[in-house]
């Protein structure tokens, strides 16, 4: 018959020697220190078998109303499944309730223990009346084994919830090795071990759950940053993959330059976190800066506003023409010729301004001069430009006297209200604790029309370029403020160095090669290569593998990237591995690795 045991913590149990208690303590210490899940469950079962001198046992874990087989051992049969063996246990899980009726399953001793939280001690399964051991008997028939004594104990966490079941089989007399019933005196030890095991498992599951939550949150943030702008695409998701590929090649390399570098499991996770968070500061970068496709673009492309002014000028020219005609102030033919010339000139001037707005051509001094000449031409405004403004806009024009109407204004202007001043706290303090070393523009933004059209290359002003570069400053500040545990302390350093160069010309700290870790230097290569090869950027066609490698070879010559890591990037084939996973087939072309490395 089965014996149900509800042992009190202070129960005085005879027959347990000091060695058994010492063994229990030793097992408990080992369980508390174990971090690997498979080794932990293996230690629990092996420890229980050792304490009770049992021939076999099974450890089940509760998973959504079923008990799943985690590990099985039967010494005399040589059975070792689950745990660190790598051998899968193909037995179906045990349902705590009947899937059809919903009735609790008390016929199986393991599910009964999970349902009730009671320990069950069975002297002989073949004589048990309370539980169904038909499956056990069938197993015995097929193997010639004789399953006899069972001790089934619940694993309860600190909340008293059952999280699993420990079942040991066939206790053996330590002198004769004969199978015996589990003595009642051993139950407190097994129950104590089960309690320690439950705490260790619960802690491990909690740690794993928190890790999964952290991973999910980090990947969610990276995905949000990529979704925030089509100009970044899947950058935050691909850079981690390339980073891990190249760091893996460093770890596997037998090159003397990398002989001393390797990562533990915890350090790999640290790198994983850093790579996924390397651009987290981009959450602070306004979309209209990241996505600025034209020089006059802010929240919208202001070329439309300027086009309207040109239209007004054209209408004024036509009005002047018709007034002159009505007043008989000249030869109609000459007046019409002058009008046509004026309208063509206005059209040409606007076309030039529109072309400058695109930012595709270098703004030579003569182009800037023509822009200023066009800007100086005037138009008449008859409506109050102080109406319908936001509070921020009102504050920006408070110090500027309103002009009486009608007001004659330049076609293009750099107005005081176009300048957004930088607050004192937005300047980087000298000797700040983060070690930032960047030139900070005097103003936060300058939306001046002439100022923006005069941008020499591209579409960004110095202020906007600083704002984009500031994302790495914000990344470092954000990560430095997080209370990372000891094994993740280098996350900010790994993530914060991918815009530095090997000669101190990068940002935000102007670090040099020997001031950066290997993972930080790897991430710089990954960041650049992903950006070059990305096929999901709306502002550029994707570059081929060969084109991207050639561009990086120039960066290597200029000492912008680590030469040793760039060489390994090519010779290890990481560039090709990445290409096969993430590039379009038409992007993958031949790369002359030897030629690139020899300066070809």
533 and 411 belong to one structural domain? no
pTM: 0.77
Q: How far apart are the C-alpha atoms of 70 and 88, rounded to whole Å? A: 9
Element (H, E) at 71: strand 66-74
| Strand segments (E) across 383-535 | 407-410, 419-421, 443-446
Digit-by-digit pLDDT tens for the chain (600 residues) are 455 444 333 343 334 566 776 777 777 777 777 777 788 888 888 888 988 899 999 999 999 899 999 999 999 999 999 988 989 998 999 999 999 999 999 999 999 999 999 999 999 999 998 899 998 999 899 899 999 999 999 999 888 889 999 999 999 998 899 999 999 888 888 888 888 888 888 888 888 888 899 889 988 888 888 887 777 778 888 999 999 999 999 999 999 999 899 999 999 999 999 999 999 999 888 888 888 889 999 988 999 999 999 999 999 999 999 999 999 888 999 999 999 999 999 999 999 999 999 988 889 999 999 999 999 999 999 999 999 999 988 988 988 889 999 999 999 999 999 999 988 888 876 666 888 888 899 999 999 999 999 999 989 999 999 999 999 999 999 999 999 999 999 999 999 999 999 999 999 999 999 999 999 999 999 999 999 998 876 667 788 999 999 999 999 999 999 999 999 999 999 999 999 999 999 999 999 999 899 876
Same domain, 419 and 467: no
Please state the domain count of the chain: 3
CATH of the domain at 522: 1.10.3210.10
24 and 113 housed in the same domain:
yes
d(CA 8, CA 187): 11
Residues 6+ apart with CB under 8 A from 173: 53, 179, 180
234 and 139 within one domain: no
Q: Let me know if residue 153 belongs to a domain.
A: yes
* CB-count burial class (<10 Å; 0-12, 13-18, 19+) for 364: exposed
CATH number for 142: 3.30.450.40
Instruction: Indicate whether 224 belongs to any domain.
Output: no
- Quick one: which of 66, 79, 48 has its CA closest to 147? 79
In this structure, the answer to whether residues 281 and 307 fall within a common structural domain is: no
Return d(Cα 115, Cα 121) in angstroms, integer: 16
Cα pseudo-dihedral 519, 523, 525, 529, rounded to 10 = 150
Would 435 be classed as within a structural domain? Answer: no
462 near 442, Cβ under 8 Å? Answer: no
Across the strands, what pairs with 120? 4, 152
- 15 & 106 share domain: yes
Do 279 and 311 have their domain in common?
A: no
Residues 519 and 417 in one domain: no
437 within some domain: no
Asked if residue 447 belongs to a domain, the reply is no
Sign of the C-alpha dihedral computed for residues 218, 221, 223 and 229 taken in this order: negative
What are the structure tokens assigned to 218, written together? Answer: 């980090």
**Interior angle at CA 175, CA 173 and CA 177, nearest 5:** 50
Q: For 334-355, give the DSSP string.
A: HHHHHHHHHHHHHHHHHHHHHH
Q: Please check whether residue 81 lies inside any domain of the structure.
A: yes
Give residue 358's domain range. 303-426
The two beta strands, 79-82 and 94-95, are: unpaired
Q: Is residue 500 domain-resident? A: yes
In a shared domain, residues 585 and 487: yes
Q: Are residues 477 and 541 in the same domain?
A: yes
Ramachandran class of 181: left when φ > 0, alpha when ψ lies in -120 to 50, beta otherwise: beta
Q: Are residues 489 and 546 in the same domain?
A: yes
Residues 52 and 83 occupy one common structural domain? yes
Phi, psi for residue 421 in degrees, rounded to 5: -70, 150
- How many CA atoms lie less than 13 Å away from 494 in the CB half-sphere? 24
Contact 241, 581 (CB under 8 A): yes
For 368, the token pair is: 């800037």
State the helix-helix crossing angle for 518-533 and 574-582, rounded to 10 degrees.
40
- 441 located within any domain: no
CA dihedral 439, 443, 445, 450 (to 10 degrees): -100
């Amino acid at each position: 018959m089965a014996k149900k045991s509800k042992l009190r913590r202070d129960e005085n149990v005879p027959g347990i020697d000091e060695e058994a208690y010492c063994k229990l303590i030793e097992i408990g210490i080992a369980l508390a220190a174990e971090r690997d899940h498979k080794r932990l469950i293996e230690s629990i079962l092996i420890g229980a078998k050792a304490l009770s001198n049992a021939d076999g046992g099974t450890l089940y874990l509760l998973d959504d109303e079923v008990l799943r087989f985690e590990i099985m051992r039967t010494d005399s049969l040589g059975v070792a499944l689950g745990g660190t063996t790598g051998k899968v246990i193909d037995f179906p899980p045990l349902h705590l309730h009947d899937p059809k009726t919903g009735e609790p399953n008390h016929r199986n001793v393991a599910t009964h223990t999970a349902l009730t939280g009671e320990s069950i001690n069975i002297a002989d399964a073949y004589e048990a009346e309370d539980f169904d051991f038909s499956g056990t008997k069938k197993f015995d028939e097929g193997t010639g084994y004789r399953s006899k004594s069972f001790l089934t104990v619940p694993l309860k966490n600190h909340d008293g919830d059952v999280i699993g079941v420990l079942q040991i089989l066939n206790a053996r007399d330590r002198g004769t090795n004969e199978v015996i019933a589990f003595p009642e005196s051993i139950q407190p030890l097994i129950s104590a071990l089960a309690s320690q095991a439950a705490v260790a498992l619960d802690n491990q599951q909690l740690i794993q759950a928190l890790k999964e939550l952290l991973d999910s949150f980090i990947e969610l943030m990276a995905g949000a940053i990529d979704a925030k702008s089509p100009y970044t695409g899947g950058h935050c998701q691909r850079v981690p993959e390339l980073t891990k590929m190249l760091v893996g090649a460093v770890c596997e390399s037998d090159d003397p330059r990398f002989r001393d570098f390797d990562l533990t499991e915890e350090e790999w996770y640290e790198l994983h976190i850093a790579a996924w968070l390397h651009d987290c500061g981009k959450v602070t970068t306004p979309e209209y800066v990241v996505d600025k496709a034209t020089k006059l673009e802010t929240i919208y492309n202001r070329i439309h506003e300027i086009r309207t002014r040109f239209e007004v000028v054209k209408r004024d020219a036509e009005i002047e023409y018709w007034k002159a005609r009505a007043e008989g102030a000249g030869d109609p033919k000459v007046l019409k010729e002058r009008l046509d010339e004026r309208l063509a000139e206005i059209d040409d001037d606007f076309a030039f301004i529109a072309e400058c707005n695109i930012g595709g051509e270098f703004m030579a001094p003569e182009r800037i001069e023509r822009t200023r000449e066009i800007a100086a031409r005037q138009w008449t405004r008859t409506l109050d430009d102080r109406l319908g403004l936001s509070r921020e806009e009102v504050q920006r024009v408070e110090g500027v006297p309103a002009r009486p109407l009608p007001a004659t204004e330049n076609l293009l202007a750099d107005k005081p209200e176009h300048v957004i001043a930088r607050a004192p706290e937005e300047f980087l303090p000298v000797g700040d604790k983060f070690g930032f070393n960047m030139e900070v523009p005097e103003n936060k933004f300058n939306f001046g029309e002439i100022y923006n059209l005069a941008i020499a290359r591209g579409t960004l002003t110095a202020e906007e370029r600083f704002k984009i570069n500031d994302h790495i400053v914000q990344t470092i500040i954000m990560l430095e403020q997080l209370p990372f545990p000891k094994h993740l302390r280098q996350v900010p350093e790994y993530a914060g160095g991918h815009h530095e160069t090997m000669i101190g010309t990068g940002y935000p700290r102007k670090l040099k090669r020997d001031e950066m870790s290997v993972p930080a230097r790897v991430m710089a290569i990954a960041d650049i290569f992903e950006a070059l090869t990305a096929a999901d950027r709306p502002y550029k066609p994707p570059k081929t593998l060969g084109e991207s490698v050639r561009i990086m070879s120039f960066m290597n010559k200029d000492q912008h990237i680590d030469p040793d890591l760039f060489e390994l990037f090519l010779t290890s084939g990481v560039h090709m591995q990445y290409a096969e996973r993430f590039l379009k087939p038409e992007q993958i072309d031949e790369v002359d690795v030897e030629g690139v490395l020899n300066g070809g």
